[in-house]
Amino acid sequence: MVCGNEGTDGAETNACVIQPFEGFPESDIQYLERRLKEDYTGAVEVRKAIPLPKSAFYPPRSRYRADTLLAFLKRRVADGERLIGLAHRDMSYAQDSMKPDFGIMGMSTMPSKACIISSRRVYKNGVKQDHLYKVELHKLGHVRGLRHCAEKTCYLRDANGGNTLHEETGFCAPCKKSMNVAGWRFPQVVSFTDLRY
Ligand SMILES: [Zn+2]
Ligand SMILES: [Zn+2]
């Protein structure tokens, strides 16, 4: 087990564990690891890729069920860890077993110890690694216990099934404050006026 470092409020931060599923591109893993290490004060660890469990495959849509994958990942999280699963295959979820499932970019419960994201829908119109990281931060916000945010530019915005990643520029001030207490180091905006005549 990896022990976390001290957070900004003196509380112990959890270790962030990246768990890729086989087939997830190495360049994307490295990108997400680098961004996490820049933004997070706790330990960041990348685990060896594991096969996607066959039990999660949903043949009618040729997708993987996100809830099954998340339950699978939750069994692999130790105390003091928060785990991020990475899949390159399309994922879906059905809120009601009588209704058809729908495709999603990621899934988490709140608060929790694990989340999962898929690059498939994020990369639908081209590879955008920063958008993938935004989805990851959104999910980690839920893992932290934060709900959706009304601020349109906030990473915790509810996309309502759409893709609003291009409009999201960062966590808003209250969301950022809560994340930073949990060991993140998102800079607070300092108001500054520069005049030059
Ligand atoms: Zn959400
Ligand atoms: Zn917010």
- What tens digit of pLDDT does each residue of 126-163 get? 999 999 999 999 999 999 999 999 999 999 999 888 89
| Ligand that lies nearest to the alpha carbon of residue 174, given by its number in the listed order | 2
* Ligand 2 mean position, distance from CA 23 (Å): 32
| Ligand that lies nearest to the alpha carbon of residue 105, given by its number in the listed order | 1
pLDDT score at 8: 43
* Ligand 2 mean position, distance from CA 132 (Å): 18
* Ligand 2 mean position, distance from CA 185 (Å): 15
113/79 Cα distance (integer angstroms): 9
27/12 Cα distance (integer angstroms): 30
List strand residue ranges (DSSP E) for 1-40, in order: 15-20
Is 35 in contact with 133 (CB distance < 8 Å)? yes
* Ligand 1 mean position, distance from CA 159 (Å): 8
CA end-to-end distance (rounded Å), the chain? 58
* Ligand 1 mean position, distance from CA 137 (Å): 10
Single pTM value for the model: 0.89
Strand order in the sheet with 63-65: 57-58, 63-65, 91-93, 102-104
Residue with tokens 């209250």: 174
* Ligand 2 mean position, distance from CA 154 (Å): 5
* Ligand 2 mean position, distance from CA 112 (Å): 19
Beta strand 63-65 with 106-108: parallel, antiparallel or unpaired?
A: unpaired
Q: Which helix (H) or strand (E) holds 176?
A: helix 173-181
Condensed to tens digits (0 to 9), the pLDDT of residues 72-120 reads: 999 999 999 999 999 999 999 988 777 778 899 999 999 999 999 999 9
* Ligand 2 mean position, distance from CA 21 (Å): 30
Q: Is the pLDDT of residue 35 over 80?
A: yes
* Ligand 2 mean position, distance from CA 182 (Å): 15
Q: Is the pLDDT of residue 58 over 80?
A: yes
Q: Is the pLDDT of residue 22 over 70?
A: yes
Sign for the pseudo-dihedral over CA of 91, 74, 21, 83 = positive
Look up residue 22 and give its amino acid.
Answer: E
* Ligand 2 mean position, distance from CA 192 (Å): 22
* Ligand 1 mean position, distance from CA 141 (Å): 8
38/18 Cα distance (integer angstroms): 15
pLDDT score at 44: 97
DSSP states of 123-165: TTTS--HHHHHHHHHHHHHHHHT---BS-TTBTTB--TTS--G
Condensed to tens digits (0 to 9), the pLDDT of residues 162-194 reads: 899 999 999 999 999 999 999 999 988 776 777
Tell me the mean pLDDT in the region 18-27.
Answer: 98
* Ligand 2 mean position, distance from CA 75 (Å): 30
Q: Is the pLDDT of residue 1 over 50?
A: no
How high does pLDDT run on average in the chain? 91
Confidence class of residue 39 from pLDDT cuts 50, 70 and 90?
very high
Burial of residue 21 (number of CB atoms within 10 Å: 0-12, 13-18, 19+): buried
Domains and CATH numbers, the chain: 15-148 (3.40.390.10)
